[in-house]
Amino acid sequence: FPQTVPMNNSMNFIHPLIVGMEVSASIRVESVHETKRAGSETGQYGSTTDLGYEILLSTEVTRVMDGVTIAAGHHTVWIPGYL
């Protein structure tokens, strides 16, 4: 999503990625939590534009020829609730 805010990431590189090698990348949604962005204030009628969703993603990159994992990790992003 174009207005996604990266919050945290952790990527472990297990094997080297060789230029020209075909790879496959996968992303899986692990959890979704409705949140209010830190530092936001509630408006006069209790509304705020800083409500959104914190989403935990797991990622994996594998070599196509033998299925060996090249890299794996987790990423947390925040998506505004008005999308």
Question: pLDDT, tens digit, for every residue of 32-45?
Answer: 999 986 665 555 55
CA distance 19 to 44: 55
Q: Residues 44, 23: contact at Cβ < 8 Å?
A: no
CA atoms within 13 A on the CB side of 10: 3
What phi and psi values does residue 60 have, to the nearest 5 degrees?
-150, 135
pTM, to two decimals: 0.76
Please tell me what DSSP assigns to residue 15. Answer: S
Helix, strand, or coil here: 32? strand
**Mean of pLDDT over the chain:** 87
Question: What does the pLDDT average to over 46-52?
Answer: 67
Q: What is the pLDDT of residues 10-29, one digit of tens each?
A: 999 999 989 999 999 999 99
